[in-house]
C-alpha cells in the first residue's frame, strides 16, 4: 500500500528509501513486472518493470551499493526509463542502541514518445491538421538527472521511523524548451512496528501535484508471515 518508507529492508529500498540499503548484510536481487489497468476498451497495454541489485561492502560494515532500472511503457507510444545508483550507510558507532541509517539515490531519467501521427501532422488551435510537423513531438525525447534522499532511525529493535525526499533536484521533464513540467519534491514520513512474523506500517505522503498544490496521502499496511514445517513460509499483505 506504498507504506514502505520505514520498512525499506531489501533491494527495493533503492526506489523507496535508499537509507534502507544500509540494513542489508548480504547480496540481494529483485525483479518485478506489473501489467497496469488491464482490460481497457482501446486495448492499450500499460506495463512497468523493475530490476534491482544490492551489494553490501564488507558485509555491510562499509555500507551498501545498489543499482536498478525502472521501465514504464504505453505500447509503442510512450516510454519512461530510470537508471538508479544508490548508496546507504549506518551513521555513528556500531554499538549504538538506536542506529541511524542514511542513503542517497542518483537517477538518470529518460522519457520519449513513439510513433504518434501528430508528430508529422500537427493539429492546430482549431482542431484541424496543419500538414506541418509538431514542434514538440518531432523531437520527443528528454533526459534529466535527479536524486532522492533517505533516512531511517531504529528507535528500538521493533520500532523504526523513516523519512524520504523524492525528486530533490526537481528536474524539468517537458519535451519543449518553451514549456515547464517539473517533478515536484515529494516528502514521505513513515513508521513501522516489526515482529519476527508480522509488520504494521504507516506512511504520510506529501506529494507535489502538477498544479504545484500538495496532495496528502495516508496509507496503512499490514504484513503477516505464516511459517510451515515442510513448505517454507507464506506471506499475506493488506493495505488501506
Residue 125 falls in which region: left (phi positive, over 0), alpha (psi -120 to 50) or beta: alpha
Q: What is the pLDDT of residue 210?
A: 78
- Taking CA atoms, 125 is separated from 121, 129, 137, 146, in Å, by 13, 9, 16, 34
Please list the alpha-helical segments (H only) found in 7-155.
13-16
Report the 10 Å Cβ neighbour count for 211: 6
Task: Retrieve residue 180's grid coordinates.
Answer: 515547464
- Of residues 228 and 193, the one with the higher pLDDT is 193
The pLDDT, as a whole number, for residue 198 is: 92
Name which of 14, 100, 19, 105 is nearest 54 in CA terms: 14
Judge whether residue 20 has pLDDT over 80: yes
pTM value is: 0.84
Question: Between 92 and 85, where is the model more confident?
Answer: 85
pLDDT in tens, 181-192: 888 899 999 999
Q: What is the pLDDT of residue 33?
A: 95
pLDDT tens, position by position, 200-237? 999 999 998 878 889 999 999 999 989 888 888 889 99
pLDDT value, residue 142: 86
Comparing 126 with 69, the larger pLDDT belongs to 69
Residue 145 has pLDDT above 80, yes or no: yes
- By mean pLDDT, which of 63-72, 78-87, 116-125 is the weakest? 116-125
Question: How high is the pLDDT of residue 117?
Answer: 66
The 78-91 sheet, strands edge to edge: 28-36, 46-56, 64-74, 78-91, 100-113, 141-153, 159-166, 186-195, 198-208, 214-227, 233-239
What pLDDT does residue 116 have?
66
Please determine, for residue 7, whether its predicted confidence score (pLDDT) is greater than 80: yes
pLDDT for res 190: 97
Distance CA 20, CA 160 (A): 11
* Per-residue pLDDT, 51: 97
Spatial distance between the Cα atoms of 225 and 107, rounded to a whole number of angstroms: 33
Tell me the pLDDT tens digit for each residue of 38-59: 988 988 899 999 999 999 998 8
Give the model's pLDDT for residue 118: 65
Q: For residues 132 and 124, what is the distance between their CA atoms, to the nearest angstrom?
A: 10
Amino acid at each position: 500500500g506504498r507504506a514502505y518508507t520505514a520498512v525499506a529492508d531489501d533491494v527495493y529500498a533503492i526506489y523507496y528509501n535508499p537509507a534502507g540499503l544500509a540494513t542489508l548484510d548480504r547480496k540481494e536481487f529483485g525483479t518485478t513486472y506489473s501489467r497496469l489497468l488491464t482490460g481497457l476498451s482501446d486495448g492499450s497495454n500499460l506495463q512497468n518493470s523493475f530490476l534491482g541489485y544490492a551489494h553490501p561492502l564488507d558485509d555491510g560494515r562499509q555500507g551498501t551499493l545498489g543499482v536498478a532500472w525502472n521501465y514504464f511503457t504505453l505500447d509503442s507510444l510512450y516510454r519512461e526509463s530510470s537508471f538508479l545508483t544508490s548508496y546507504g550507510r549506518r551513521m555513528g558507532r556500531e554499538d549504538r542502541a538506536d542506529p541511524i541509517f542514511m542513503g542517497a539515490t542518483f537517477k538518470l531519467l529518460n522519457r520519449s514518445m513513439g510513433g504518434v501521427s501528430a508528430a508529422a501532422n500537427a493539429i492546430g488551435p482549431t482542431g484541424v491538421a496543419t500538414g506541418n510537423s509538431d514542434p514538440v513531438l518531432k523531437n520527443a525525447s528528454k533526459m534529466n538527472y535527479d536524486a532522492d534522499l533517505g533516512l531511517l532511525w531504529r528507535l528500538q529493535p521493533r520500532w523504526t521511523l523513516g523519512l524520504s525526499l523524492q525528486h530533490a533536484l526537481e528536474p524539468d521533464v517537458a519535451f519543449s524548451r518553451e514549456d515547464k513540467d517539473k517533478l515536484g519534491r515529494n516528502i514521505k514520513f513513515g513508521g513501522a512496528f516489526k515482529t519476527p512474523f508480522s509488520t504494521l506500517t504507516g506512511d504520510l505522503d506529501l506529494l507535489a501535484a502538477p498544479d504545484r498544490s500538495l496532495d496528502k496521502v495516508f496509507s496503512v499496511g499490514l504484513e503477516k508471515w505464516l511459517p510451515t514445517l515442510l513448505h517454507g513460509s507464506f506471506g499475506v499483505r493488506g493495505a488501506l
